Chains A and B, each alone.
Chain A
Amino acid sequence: MTETGTVSETPWLDQDGQQPLVQIKGVTKKYGEVTAVDNVDLDIYQGELFCLLGGSGCGKSTLLRMLAGFEDLNGGSITIDGVDMQGVPAYDRPTNMMFQSYALFPHMSVEQNIAFGLQQDKMARSEISNRVHDILTLVELQDFKKRKPQQLSGGQRQRVALARALVKEPRLLLLDEPLAALDKKLRKQTQFELANIQEKVGVTFIVVTHDQEEAMTLSTRMAVMDAGKFKQIGTPTEIYEFPESRFVADFIGSANVFEGRVTEDGADHVRVKTNVAEVFIDHGQSVKVGSKIWVALRPEKIRITKTDEPASGPNQVSGVVDDIGYLGEMSIYKIELPNGQIVDITSPNSSRPMNRQHRITWGNKVNIAWEPSSVMLLTA
């Protein structure tokens, strides 16, 4: 396996003049009238675990299939490792793919499935059996090597599929919804396992997923896709804390959005007049005074206090508790503001309620407040 000691944690920043491993330039794919992938650009660097996140039909799988060589491009170019992939068939590409259905060969044993790719390279028998042995150890399936795929559980099949794709030590591993077929509990375990394996082998991963939690857990960087275009590309933190549009803010996690107009644009602060309150933001952002803008707040970044309790800070609004969802570790409050808008707030239940009574309940008048730094300003 490749030596990984020197690989950077943030390869897209520390490029050292290195070429990106994958260069996607102006790639377009059309099916008749429908544009599945619409003129997208993306660079992915060696060692990344990059997630393509989006709803069904957003074009993420099509993009992955174009990288693998299963679909032709209608425009643009894909370069992998400095080589233009135009006209290079799937069997000659330095990529391997893990299919959503796993696509294990049912007439071959686990061992034969994994050896298949190595046999195509005319590798020596002893070398093949060594490599198969090593990869089976990595995914902990040695005891199952003689079994047929249909004699394995879902989780085991998933690991065989991963092993089969990894054993050829591709430059780039493409994973199409790698965890979608597993049940919830197994999926959570496997997320971390997958990230660990990627770190161990040092292969660049591109993962397609519709599950935002999966993308957040796995990825070094991710791209949010919609209608064939990238809405935003960044680290999970960047995407969650600094979304650029209402679509991204709402697609990743949830957000309370207020429409407003910029009233003041200072070097170190912005003020926005919305229909519920004037919002103060303590960081500068290049916006035009008087322009239409959206202010978004994450539910967990809003504090909730009863009106008779003291509250402080510049950003405060009063409201009435409309509904409460008690989830155990936290509660979701739905607060109705004077203008009728409902705001979602989540609050950890960090102490046990006194006398089995919650502090805040239905119909209570409350104040909600948030830090000036937590406000996300969205221009689209």
Chain B
Amino acid sequence: MHGKRSRFLTIMLVLGMAFFYVPMVLLVVYSFNYSKIVPVWGGWSLRWYEVLFQSEEVWMAVSLSLKIAFVNATFATMLGTLAGLAMVRFGRFRGRTLFGGMLVAPLVMPEVITGLSLLVFFISMKQLVGWPEQRGFATITIAHITFSLAYVAVTIQARLTGMGEDLEEAAADLGAKPFKVLTAITIPRLTPALISGWLLAFTLSLDDLVIASFVTGPGANTLPILIFSRIRLGLRPDINALATIMILVIATCVAIAAILMFRQQRADLKDQQLAERGES
């Protein structure tokens, strides 16, 4: 019975993994296809990578996307951290429940609604105060900050709640004024959450197509917008090449993160051994 059972599990595993990865493998393989028509195999070639590297439009989109993602992640982390601190460390204040609810609302709001409302907002702003004159980098960044902030706030809130207040009270007790407590104790303790919050905001921004499409303007194409607009005219091998590069970059990042985590675990284990030896 046991053999049968495990064969069943193996088949399910293979099917599951295939479901995840066959599309990506196909994408990667077709990026090396000489033929101009994607599903027709014309032999191995790096032709589309060459096309890609010569396309100024693609590089502009990459650079715009990275710029937006970077600025967004930085601001969202700062604002989200402040919001998280207010929720967890300020005790009970008037409107706390309302504030908490409004803080996480963007998480459940459909993206089209967020995008549409922001577009309406930017257009009214232009009429009222004459800004933003043209939609592009600034409007997309602001739009991204509004929703990534919520994710960061949730991450920080969870971490702060888990940390407890003992360390901060201890620092205050030892004579540290509130700002010193924040910089010497709270922020260093929050560092892992700050990094993951920043990365999360960065990824969300890099990934976003819907909201960016609403609030972008002429000539401001982020990478997802560019890819999507090109695909609408039919599958294109140079886009496959671009996607392959992105997969490679992401895989590298994940691998580095895994190695760092593994090292941290080993260091923790060593600490524990040191502590136990001291017990005797």
Q: Which residues of A pack against B, CB within 8 Å? A: 68-70, 89-92, 95-97, 99, 101, 103, 105-107, 116-117, 120-121, 144, 147-148, 150-156, 164-165, 168
Inter-chain contact A99/B169, CB cutoff 8 Å: yes
10 contacts between A and B (CB under 8 A): A68-B173, A69-B172, A70-B169, A105-B185, A107-B189, A116-B171, A150-B272, A151-B274, A153-B278, A155-B278
**What CA separation (Å) do A69 and B278 show in the bound complex?**
35
Task: Closest A residue to B180 by CB, please name it.
Answer: A120
Inter-chain contact A107/B188, CB cutoff 8 Å: yes
Mask: chain B, 175-200; 1 = CB below 8 Å from A; 0 = not: 11100100011001100000000000
**B275 CB-CB contact with A under 8 Å:** yes
**In whole Å, how far is B190's beta carbon from the nearest beta carbon of chain A?**
11
Task: Closest B residue to A90 by CB, please name it.
Answer: B172
User: How many residues in B have their beta carbons less than 8 Å from beta carbons of A?
Assistant: 25
**What CA separation (Å) do A124 and B73 show in the bound complex?**
40
B278 contact set on A, CB distance < 8 A? 144, 151-153, 155-156
Residue among B164, B180, B185, B275 making CB contact with A152, cutoff 8 Å: B275
Inter-chain contact A101/B166, CB cutoff 8 Å: yes
B173 contact set on A, CB distance < 8 A? 68-70, 90-91, 95-97, 165
B14 contact set on A, CB distance < 8 A? none
Inter-chain contact A116/B176, CB cutoff 8 Å: yes
With A107-B188, A120-B175, A120-B176 as contacts: A147 and B170 at CB distance below 8 Å: no
A103 contact set on B, CB distance < 8 A? 166-167, 169-170
**In whole Å, how far is A171's beta carbon from the nearest beta carbon of chain B?**
13
Counted as pairs of residues, one from A and one from B, with CB atoms less than 8 Å apart, the total is 78
Task: Closest B residue to A116 by CB, please name it.
Answer: B174
Inter-chain contact A164/B174, CB cutoff 8 Å: yes
**B271 CB-CB contact with A under 8 Å:** yes
**What CA separation (Å) do A91 and B268 show in the bound complex?**
33
**What CA separation (Å) do A265 and B172 show in the bound complex?**
57
**What CA separation (Å) do A259 and B119 show in the bound complex?**
82
**B56 CB-CB contact with A under 8 Å:** no
With A117-B175, A120-B175, A153-B276 as contacts: A97 and B170 at CB distance below 8 Å: yes
Mask: chain B, 213-232; 1 = CB below 8 Å from A; 0 = not: 00000000000000000000
Task: Closest A residue to B176 by CB, please name it.
Answer: A120
Inter-chain contact B174/A153, CB cutoff 8 Å: no
Q: Which 6 A-B pairs have the closest CB atoms?
A: A117-B174, A120-B175, A103-B170, A153-B278, A103-B166, A153-B279
Inter-chain contact B177/A91, CB cutoff 8 Å: yes
A152 contact set on B, CB distance < 8 A? 274-275, 278
**What CA separation (Å) do A322 and B189 show in the bound complex?**
59
Inter-chain contact B167/A155, CB cutoff 8 Å: no
**What CA separation (Å) do A78 and B215 show in the bound complex?**
59
Tell me the residues in window 235-280 of chain B with beta carbons closer than 8 Å to chain A beta carbons: 268, 271-272, 274-276, 278-279
**In whole Å, how far is B180's beta carbon from the nearest beta carbon of chain A?**
7
**What CA separation (Å) do A148 and B278 show in the bound complex?**
13
A121 contact set on B, CB distance < 8 A? 175
Task: Closest B residue to A148 by CB, please name it.
Answer: B271
**What CA separation (Å) do A150 and B166 show in the bound complex?**
16
**What CA separation (Å) do A165 and B174 show in the bound complex?**
7
**What CA separation (Å) do A150 and B267 show in the bound complex?**
11
Task: Closest A residue to B268 by CB, please name it.
Answer: A150
**In whole Å, how far is B191's beta carbon from the nearest beta carbon of chain A?**
8
**In whole Å, how far is A108's beta carbon from the nearest beta carbon of chain B?**
9
Can you add 18 more A-B contacts, CB < 8 Å, to A90-B169, A101-B166?
Answer: A90-B173, A91-B172, A91-B174, A91-B175, A95-B173, A99-B166, A101-B164, A103-B170, A105-B171, A116-B184, A120-B174, A120-B175, A120-B176, A144-B278, A150-B271, A150-B272, A151-B275, A155-B279
**What CA separation (Å) do A95 and B174 show in the bound complex?**
9
**What CA separation (Å) do A107 and B185 show in the bound complex?**
9
**What CA separation (Å) do A248 and B57 show in the bound complex?**
84
**What CA separation (Å) do A92 and B272 show in the bound complex?**
36
Mask: chain B, 151-169; 1 = CB below 8 Å from A; 0 = not: 0000000000000101101
